[in-house]
């Protein structure tokens, strides 16, 4: 068996090539070349274990190409592609021995690898086996592919034989086993986890892909367990996929957009039937149901990046020039000027966890909470330099305006409900009390009966003449985690959860929103969506993955007992029900009609909740404390009385406050 194919491969001089490195001489290099670095990974089907890896740059026919400096003086070529962009990593592997001699056509020299070592495609250095490999490196590829191959069920196995065997003594051990089996590999390294591993579903759709938002609880679970490599690989590979010139119907989204998901595909190599190549195929929403761009992906990516640094102690990742550039691009996309008068982000329906039409277009709370959290995390990680001064100044201004806006206008409790009930309308003045012209008749009878005397929450959305009074769990929980809500408001949110336990938790935690849209309201707002029927899926369904956000919020407020009680409720049946994606009915008694089984973020959400309850201090990697500058600025705005009449000369701020 030949150790090396005869195909000419470009060899890089010096040590192993660094895929994302930069040379100090090019400190201000054109950093927009990083995300679309296209590498080819060429692998013989008959060669299963790589001992020598050779990488070559590949140029595709695209609209633009550029160069990126690499270690040893070699250049990588980056190509922007309209339409389907595939990230390729061509790693040709030898089965035995090390190379004694490698020839090149361009005379760039060669580097050698000992047979006991492999190349980390992200680190760009020679490494031994990773601690994160869960001993899968020693397993045969047949054993691993018998259950799942990068999210694709093996065609040689029947669904019955693919059902995971529960040979563990506890639910937690079973969950870890399932989470490990959901891992996706790219060129031999773990890169993420697929959305679901349901062997009973014949229609895979995109559940075999790695979703940015779905991986967050998986990544947190790995971090808390001390297994950092998969999170590091995920962060850097998704950064490569960050959109520069993605096009749908002759339109390109803003620079900095992160994909909703990606899939590792194994395709035949052109011109060689005995070889295959692995490619990363991202989806920015152009293939998603509804064709909606994922606003939350970049925000979650920043939050996970900070958590990785805090948990692992490895700050070198966030200090890299390409990562710093990726952070700045996400911030510029979010902080870009527009027509909106409010500091909140204006988004379309379906641009977050609720990714179908549910009437959340405008300024949904979930996006604002993640936006606020990402701004705080980014400010903490951005390297101080002259080029970042304006961006940091805009970031600080937005933090102050956003926190005031949400706390003042999104908050609802019995006192505020009485105030809204007595609102006067059609007020045209600078000192209007009813700034958004909210009509008191919008107050639904359910809200009057549902609101407890003790407790409150942040409403789901606010627009001119419209307040969405539904309780959205993720937005409220993450407002507590990120300190977007005040201390009193945060405690009040948890008070409400306790008071309305039978509605929000019941037989399975946790309601994604309350109440459900029903009748004509459901028909008009969802468009008669057959998946979002009342008390199902996003329309009042119960989602076990929300356990981890609930746990972080409770630990932050020193009320972990609430989360422990919810976890106990979930443990009664979640394993027996085979880890569903969501539950139906008002109390969450039935497995969701279209729910996938063995849903990865249901598994990971449970694991993170258990880990944090066992070690509450570790939750600090996720929540942020409000700094003194924000507290002082907020106090000044309150003391200035935002309802006081203001003349035009004194109106210096860009936002309505």
pLDDT of residue 54: 34
Residue 107 pLDDT greater than 70, yes or no? no
Q: What is the mean pLDDT of residues 484-504?
A: 97
Residue 162 pLDDT greater than 70, yes or no? no
Residue 9 pLDDT greater than 50, yes or no? no
Q: What is the mean pLDDT of residues 417-422?
A: 94
pLDDT of residue 199: 86
- The 10s digit of each residue's pLDDT in 642-654 is 544 444 444 444 4
pLDDT of residue 620: 95
Give the confidence band of 255 by pLDDT, cuts at 50, 70, 90.
confident
* Spatial contact of 296 and 352, defined as CB atoms under 8 Å apart: yes
* Residues 145, 146, 148, 149, Cα dihedral to 10°: 20
Compute the distance between CA of residue 215 and CA of residue 608 in angstroms, rounded to an integer: 12
The three-point CA angle 541-544-550 to 5° equals: 105
Compute the distance between CA of residue 490 and CA of residue 483 in angstroms, rounded to an integer: 8
* Spatial contact of 151 and 208, defined as CB atoms under 8 Å apart: yes
- What residue ranges in 475-548 does DSSP mark as E strands? 513-514
Which two structure tokens, joined as six digits, stand for 185? 């590999």
* Spatial contact of 351 and 295, defined as CB atoms under 8 Å apart: yes
Taking CA atoms, 55 is separated from 119, 221, 316, in Å, by 10, 32, 24
- The 10s digit of each residue's pLDDT in 71-98 is 333 333 333 334 444 566 555 433 333 3
pLDDT of residue 284: 86
Which two structure tokens, joined as six digits, stand for 209? 């892909």
pLDDT of residue 275: 87
pLDDT of residue 48: 33
Compute the distance between CA of residue 117 and CA of residue 140 in angstroms, rounded to an integer: 18
Q: What is the mean pLDDT of residues 399-407?
A: 96
Compute the distance between CA of residue 198 and CA of residue 151 in angstroms, rounded to an integer: 10
Q: What is the mean pLDDT of residues 389-410?
A: 94
Residue 637 pLDDT greater than 80, yes or no? no
Residue length, the chain?
Answer: 657
In sequence order, what are the residues at sequence separation of 6 or more whose Cβ sits closer than 8 angstroms to the Cβ of residue 285? 248, 260, 291, 292, 293, 294
User: HEC profile for 126-190?
Assistant: EECCCHHHCCHHHCCHHHHHHHCECCECCCCCCHHHHCCCCCCCCHHHHHHHHHHHCEEEECCEE
Average pLDDT in the chain: 77
Q: What is the mean pLDDT of residues 620-627?
A: 88
- The 10s digit of each residue's pLDDT in 18-50 is 333 433 333 333 433 333 334 344 443 333 333
- The 10s digit of each residue's pLDDT in 58-68 is 333 333 333 33
- The 10s digit of each residue's pLDDT in 323-363 is 999 999 999 999 998 888 899 999 999 888 998 999 999 99
Q: Model pTM?
A: 0.75
Please identify which residue in the block is written with the tokens 């309201």.
Answer: 521
Compute the distance between CA of residue 199 and CA of residue 201 in angstroms, rounded to an integer: 6
State what percent of residues in the chain have pLDDT above 70. 68
Give the confidence band of 448 by pLDDT, cuts at 50, 70, 90.
very high
What crossing angle do the helices spanning 295-312 and 229-240 adopt, rounded to 10°? 140
């Amino acid at each position: 068996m030949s150790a090396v194919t005869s195909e000419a491969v470009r060899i890089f001089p010096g040590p192993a090539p660094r895929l994302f490195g930069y040379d100090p001489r090019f400190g201000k290099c054109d950093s927009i070349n990083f995300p679309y670095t296209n590498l080819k990974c060429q692998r013989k089907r008959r060669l299963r274990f790589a001992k020598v890896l050779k990488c070559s740059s590949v140029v595709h026919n695209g609209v633009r190409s550029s160069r990126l400096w690499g270690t040893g003086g070699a250049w990588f070529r980056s190509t922007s592609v309209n339409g389907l962009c595939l990230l390729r990593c061509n790693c040709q592997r030898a089965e035995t021995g090390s190379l004694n001699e490698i020839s090149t056509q361009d005379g760039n020299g060669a580097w050698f690898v000992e047979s006991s070592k492999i190349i980390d495609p992200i680190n760009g250095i020679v490494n031994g086996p990773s601690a994160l490999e869960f001993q899968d490196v020693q397993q045969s590829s047949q054993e691993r592919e018998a259950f799942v191959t990068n999210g694709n069920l093996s065609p040689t196995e029947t669904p019955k034989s693919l059902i995971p065997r529960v040979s563990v003594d506890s639910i937690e051990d079973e969950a870890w086993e399932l989470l490990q089996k959901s891992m996706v590999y790219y060129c031999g390294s773990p890169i993420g986890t697929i959305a679901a591993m349901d062997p009973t579903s014949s229609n895979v759709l995109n559940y075999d892909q790695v979703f940015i938002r779905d991986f967050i609880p998986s990544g947190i679970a790995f971090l808390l367990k001390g297994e950092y490599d998969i999170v590091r690989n995920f962060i850097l590979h998704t950064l490569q996929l960050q959109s520069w010139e993605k096009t749908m119907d002759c339109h390109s989204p803003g620079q900095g957009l992160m994909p909703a998901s990606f899939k590792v595909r194994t395709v035949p190599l052109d011109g060689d039937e005995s070889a295959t190549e692995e490619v990363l195929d991202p989806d920015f929403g152009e293939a998603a149901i509804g064709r909606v761009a994922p606003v939350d992906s970049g925000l979650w990516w920043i939050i996970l990046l900070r958590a990785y640094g805090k948990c692992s102690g490895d700050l070198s990742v966030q200090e890299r020039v390409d990562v710093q550039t990726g952070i700045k691009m996400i911030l510029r996309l979010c902080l870009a000027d527009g027509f909106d008068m409010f500091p909140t982000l204006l988004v379309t329906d379906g641009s977050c966890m609720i990714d179908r039409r549910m009437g959340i277009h405008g300024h949904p709370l979930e996006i604002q909470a993640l936006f606020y959290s990402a701004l705080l995390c980014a400010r903490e990680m951005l390297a101080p330099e002259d080029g970042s001064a304006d961006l940091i100044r805009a970031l600080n201004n937005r933090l102050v305006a956003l926190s005031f806006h949400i706390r003042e206008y999104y908050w609802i409790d019995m006192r505020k409900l009485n105030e809204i009930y007595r609102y006067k309308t059609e007020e045209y003045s600078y000192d209007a009390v009813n700034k958004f012209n909210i009509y008191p008749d919008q107050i639904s009878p359910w809200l009057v009966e549902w609101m407890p005397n003790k407790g409150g929450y942040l409403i789901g959305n606010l627009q001119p003449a419209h307040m969405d009074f539904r309780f959205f769990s993720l937005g409220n929980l993450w407002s507590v985690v990120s300190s977007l809500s005040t201390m009193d408001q945060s405690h009040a949110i948890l008070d409400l959860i306790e008071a309305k336990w039978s509605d929000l938790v019941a037989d399975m935690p946790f309601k994604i929103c309350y109440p459900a849209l029903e009748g004509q309201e459901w028909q008009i707002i969802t468009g008669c969506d057959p998946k979002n029927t009342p008390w199902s899926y996003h329309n009042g369904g119960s989602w076990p993955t929300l356990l981890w956000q609930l746990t972080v919020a409770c630990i932050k407020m020193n009320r972990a007992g609430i989360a422990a009680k919810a976890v106990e409720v979930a443990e009664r049946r979640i394993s027996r029900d085979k880890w569903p994606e969501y539950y139906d009915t008002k109390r969450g008694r039935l497995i969701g009609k279209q729910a996938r089984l063995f849903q990865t973020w249901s598994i990971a959400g449970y694991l993170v909740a258990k880990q944090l309850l066992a070690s509450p201090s570790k939750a600090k990697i996720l929540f942020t404390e409000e700094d003194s500058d924000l507290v002082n600025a907020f106090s000044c705005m309150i003391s200035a009385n935002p309802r006081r009449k203001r003349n035009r000369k004194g109106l210096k701020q860009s936002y309505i406050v």
